[in-house]
């Protein structure tokens, strides 16, 4: 389908009352290849962290590793100075839902669960992903939270269908979280990603089937469910204006992919 035919298809769905993406966020094959390469580097940076993360290191050590590995690939860490964010990566430990700021004072210890959220710019394109890490042995309920959150991501990915709806994705994720007694964080979501850090549409991790933005071949976006143990609420640190904590002080987990949608399949670009 060429761009003109695609525009006609979008107008058809729009006339039916559906939300449709902007054409500028429906990528060309050349743009997807650029995003794919950025995603490969982004995944390599997370692999580098995976090989080194352990008890006794600081979250600043992780920031240093990300900066070093990204520079070695002639790429750029997207978070640094983004809207004033002061570090190269987000490292969120235990009850930090997201946007944890690395610090020399924050030392990882046995039993911690840690999210490392990394975004890479390469040749102007963006790759974005996050992974959970369990430091040594943790409580069974914390391990289960990490495992179920990864399942939520994979189930959400399975729900992505060309000419389907993002509401289908959010519905599948929330249903799985709820069946396991966990709560989806509603304050944050996934997002378009590739030619900008954060693009339309927002990808909610809850929703109704057949609702939300139309999923169109050529779209690239993140799925990144944040799942809390008991309650979905978050609070933002008054000290730094970035760090989001669970309101109840219980742990949270998150996994993230950047994906591309094609006519006949979905591809993970970074994980």
Determine the angle formed by the axes of helices 166-179 and 140-158, rounding to 10 degrees: 160
Which residues are within 8 A (CB) of 232 and not within 5 positions of it... i.e. 6 or more apart? 183, 184, 185, 186
With bands split at pLDDT 50, 70 and 90, how would you rate the model's confidence at 176?
Answer: very high
With bands split at pLDDT 50, 70 and 90, how would you rate the model's confidence at 1?
Answer: confident
Contact 45, 98 (CB under 8 A): no
Contact 39, 127 (CB under 8 A): yes
Can you spell out the DSSP letters for 190-251? EEE-SSSSSEEEEE-SS--TT-SBBP-TTBEEEE--EEESS---EEE-TTTS--EEETTS--
Which residues are within 8 A (CB) of 52 and not within 5 positions of it... i.e. 6 or more apart? 61, 65
* Opening angle at CA 37, ends 32 and 40, nearest 5: 125
Q: Report pLDDT digits (tens) over 12-51.
A: 999 999 999 999 999 999 999 999 999 999 999 999 999 9
- Please state the rounded mean pLDDT for residues 69-86: 98
User: In terms of pTM, does the model score above 0.95?
Assistant: yes
Tokens of 178: 């709820």
Note the helical H segments in the chain: 3-15, 29-50, 59-72, 140-158, 166-179
Note the CATH number of domain 3-265: 3.90.230.10
User: What local confidence, expressed as pLDDT, does residue 65 receive?
Assistant: 98
Q: Closest by alpha carbon to 53, among 41, 43, 65, 42?
A: 65
Q: Closest by alpha carbon to 225, among 171, 261, 267?
A: 171
With bands split at pLDDT 50, 70 and 90, how would you rate the model's confidence at 149?
Answer: very high
> CA-to-CA distance for 28 and 25, rounded, in angstroms?
9
Residue 266 has pLDDT above 90, yes or no: yes
| Mean pLDDT for all residues in the chain | 97
**138, 144, 147, 151: CA torsion to nearest 10:** -170
**Chain center to CA of 227:** 12
Residue 117 has pLDDT above 90, yes or no: yes
> CA-to-CA distance for 269 and 119, rounded, in angstroms?
12
Tokens of 41: 């580097």
Contact 26, 261 (CB under 8 A): no
| DSSP tag of 172 | H
**Where do the domains of the chain lie?**
3-265
Share of residues in the chain with pLDDT > 70 (%): 100
């Amino acid at each position: 389908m060429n761009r003109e035919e695609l525009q006609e298809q979008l107008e058809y769905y729009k006339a039916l009352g559906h939300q449709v993406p902007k054409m500028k966020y429906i990528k060309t094959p050349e743009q997807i290849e650029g995003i794919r390469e950025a995603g490969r580097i982004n995944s390599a940076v997370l692999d580098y962290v995976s090989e080194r993360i352990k008890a006794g290191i600081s979250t600043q050590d992780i920031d240093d590793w990300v900066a070093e590995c990204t520079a070695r690939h002639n790429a750029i860490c997207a978070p640094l100075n983004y809207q004033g964010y002061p570090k190269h990566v987000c490292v969120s430990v235990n009850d930090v839902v997201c946007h944890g700021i690395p610090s020399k004072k924050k030392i990882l210890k046995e039993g911690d669960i840690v999210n490392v959220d990394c975004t890479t710019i390469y040749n102007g394109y963006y790759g974005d992903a996050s992974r959970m890490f369990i430091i040594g042995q943790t409580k069974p309920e914390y391990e289960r939270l990490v495992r179920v959150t990864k399942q939520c991501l994979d189930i959400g990915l399975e729900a992505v269908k060309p000419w389907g709806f993002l509401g289908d994705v959010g519905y599948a994720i929330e249903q799985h979280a709820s069946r396991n007694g966990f709560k989806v964080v509603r304050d944050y979501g996934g997002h378009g990603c590739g030619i900008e850090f954060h693009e339309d549409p927002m990808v909610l991790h809850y929703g109704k089937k057949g609702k939300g933005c139309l999923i169109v071949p050529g779209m690239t976006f993140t799925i990144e469910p944040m799942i809390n143990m008991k309650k979905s609420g978050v609070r933002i640190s008054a000290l730094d204006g970035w760090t989001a904590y669970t309101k109840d002080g219980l742990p949270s987990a998150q996994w993230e992919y950047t994906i591309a949608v094609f006519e006949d399949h979905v591809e993970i670009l970074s994980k």
